[in-house]
């Protein structure tokens, strides 16, 4: 597979599990899927080293669940994890101390839903799915999105943890908006999956850039920028400074490059190069793209070292460290 060429290093996170009899027999079963269709499926891929999230998605896929359920349930793990300060509950707030969340989801039929700048809801990805499935709209923002969530039965919850609050109070002493590469926003999660039926879905969820201006929305909930899926071709998703991804409509671009014949790896590299061309004199920010094609081949590329992405398939549960444009 193309991806493997680009691995600088990788770890089998669940080494014990891979050799277990249960998975070994699954492997046998899936071998036939791979050879019949010439595809690696099921498979899930996600930005950053989100082992618990990819494990959850894999569990859904292995039990015959849809890729849509897999990506939703996978990213929900990070949304609920207060230790992840870039997503959901525990996310870092905007400069006024309010945690505002962005998320979008897209299925294999090209349906999509998104919520922007939503507050007090732990699982924006599930609200985005409701927007997709229960409304004639694609995006709901702010108070309207929150109101819609309550109508759908979501509970109001304070998302600002003591840790994120203390850090914000500390930040306020200087109040300088200076995103730190790979640190301030680590773990925004973009996830793509192919299920047993060969269908691709994707999800992306974030609390956005820490200490942003109130109302700021990045790439993550924007279909085409933070996430794009075309079931005929593949999917792509992004992490990093969202403004730069929006400027090049990064995820859509990568899927279109795959449509024209590029591998997921080549497409991610070209996606990053487009951003670099627009930022010749200031490459002090991070962008990471990941992509998957219809065959289940994956790729990833980033501007700065420090980005990684997880894959989980019969081949193993792997934390992939891709090449970066700027070398260490």
Q: Applying CB under 6 A, does 322 fall inside the site for ligand SD4?
A: no
Q: Please pick, among 47, 100, 161, 188, the residue that the annotation labels catalytic.
A: 188
Q: Is 240 annotated as a binding residue?
A: yes
Closer CB to ligand SD4, 218 or 299, in the complex = 218
Record the tokens describing residue 158, joined without a space. 């304070």
The response to whether 11 counts as a known ligand-binding position is no
Query: Does residue 42 have a cis bond before it (omega within 30 degrees)?
Result: yes
CA–CA separation, 261 and 295 (whole Å): 12
Judge whether 241 is annotated as a binding position. Answer: yes
Shortest spacing between CB 245 and ligand SD4, in angstroms: 6
74 burial (CB, 10 Å; 0-12 / 13-18 / 19+) is buried
Q: Which is nearer to ligand SD4, 70 or 302 (CB)?
A: 302
Size of residue set near ligand SD4 by CB under 6 A: 13
HSE-CB for 67 with a 13 A CA cutoff: 30
In the block, which residue shows the tokens 């494990």? 55
Considering only residues 192-221, where is the footprint of ligand SD4 by CB under 6 A? 206, 208-209, 218-220
- From 30, 205, 239, 308, residue interacting with ligand SD4 (rule: CB under 6 A): 239
Give the Cα separation of 277 and 281 in Å (integer).
9
What one-character DSSP code corresponds to residue 138?
A: S
Q: Does 100 bind ligand SD4 (CB under 6 A)?
A: no
SS3 percent helix, strand, coil of the chain, rounded to 5, is 35, 20, 45
CB 238 within 8 A of CB 190: yes
Nearest distance in Å: CB 123, ligand SD4:
17
Complex with ligand SD4: residue 240 or 322, whichever CB lies closer:
240
By CB under 6 A, the residues from 121 to 140 that bind ligand SD4 are: none
Question: Of these, 240, 271, 300, 322, which contacts ligand SD4 (CB under 6 A)?
Answer: 240
Minimal distance, residue 294 CB to ligand SD4, in Å: 25
231 DSSP 8-state letter: T
Minimum distance from residue 15 beta carbon to ligand SD4 (Å):
28
Please pick, from the candidates 188, 201, 205, 311, the single residue that binds ligand SD4 as defined by CB under 6 A. 188
Q: Is 242 annotated as a binding residue?
A: yes
How far apart are alpha carbons 308 and 8 in whole angstroms? 11
219 in a known ligand binding site: yes
Catalytic status, residue 205: no
Is 246 marked within a binding site?
A: no
SS3 124: helix
Nearer to ligand SD4 by Cβ, of 73 and 220: the residue is: 220
For residue 21, give every residue at least 6 positions away whose Cβ sits within 8 Å of its Cβ, in sequence order, or none.
none
**Does 185 interact with ligand SD4 (rule: CB under 6 A)?**
yes
CB atoms within 10 A of CB 66: 18
On whether 288 is known to bind a ligand per the annotation, the reply is no
Residue 226 structure tokens: 């933070």
Residue 271, annotated ligand binder? no
The answer to the question of residue 250 lying near ligand SD4 (CB under 6 A) is no
Binding residue (CB under 6 A) for ligand SD4 from 242, 271, 299, 322: 242
Q: Cα dihedral sign for 57, 88, 271, 131?
A: positive
Smaller CB separation from ligand SD4, 246 or 315:
246
**CB proximity list for 252: less than 8 A, separation 6 or greater:** 224, 225, 228, 236
Question: Distance between CA 153 and CA 91 in Å, rounded?
Answer: 22
Binding-site residues sit at 216-219, 239-242
Binding-site residues for substrate sit at 216-219, 239-242
List, by residue number, the catalytic residues. 188
- Footprint of ligand SD4 (CB under 6 A): 86, 185, 188, 206, 208-209, 218-220, 239-242
């Amino acid at each position: 597979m193309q991806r493997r060429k680009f691995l600088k290093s990788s770890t089998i996170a669940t080494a014990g599990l891979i050799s277990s009899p249960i998975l070994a027999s699954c492997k046998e079963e899936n071998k036939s899927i791979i050879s019949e269709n010439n595809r690696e499926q099921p498979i899930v891929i996600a930005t950053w080293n989100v082992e618990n999230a990819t494990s959850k998605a894999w569990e859904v896929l292995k039990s015959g669940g849809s890729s849509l359920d897999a990506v939703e349930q996978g990213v929900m793990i990070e949304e609920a994890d207060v230790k992840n300060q870039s997503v959901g509950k525990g996310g870092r707030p905007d400069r006024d101390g309010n945690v505002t969340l962005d998320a979008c989801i897209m299925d294999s039929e090209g349906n999509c839903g998104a919520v922007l700048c939503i507050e007090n809801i732990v699982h924006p990805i599930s609200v985005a799915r409701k927007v997709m499935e229960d409304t004639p709209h694609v995006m709901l923002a702010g108070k309207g999105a929150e109101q819609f969530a309550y109508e759908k039965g979501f509970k109001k919850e304070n998302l600002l943890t003591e840790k994120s609050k203390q850090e914000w109070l500390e930040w306020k002493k200087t109040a300088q908006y200076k995103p730190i590469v790979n640190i301030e926003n680590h773990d925004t999660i973009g996830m793509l999956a192919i299920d047993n039926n060969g269908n691709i879905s994707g999800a992306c969820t974030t609390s956005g850039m820490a200490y942003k201006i109130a109302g700021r929305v990045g790439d993550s909930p924007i279909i085409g920028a933070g996430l794009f899926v075309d079931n005929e071709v593949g999917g792509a998703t992004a992490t990093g400074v969202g403004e730069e991804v929006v400027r090049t409509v990064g995820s859509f671009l990568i899927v279109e490059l795959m449509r024209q014949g590029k591998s997921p790896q080549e497409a991610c590299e070209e996606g990053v190069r487009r951003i670099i061309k627009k930022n010749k004199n200031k490459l002090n920010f991070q962008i990471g793209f990941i992509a998957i094609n219809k065959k289940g081949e994956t790729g990833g590329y980033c501007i700065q070292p420090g980005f990684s992405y997880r894959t989980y398939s019969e081949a193993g549960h792997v934390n992939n460290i891709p090449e970066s444009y700027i070398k260490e």
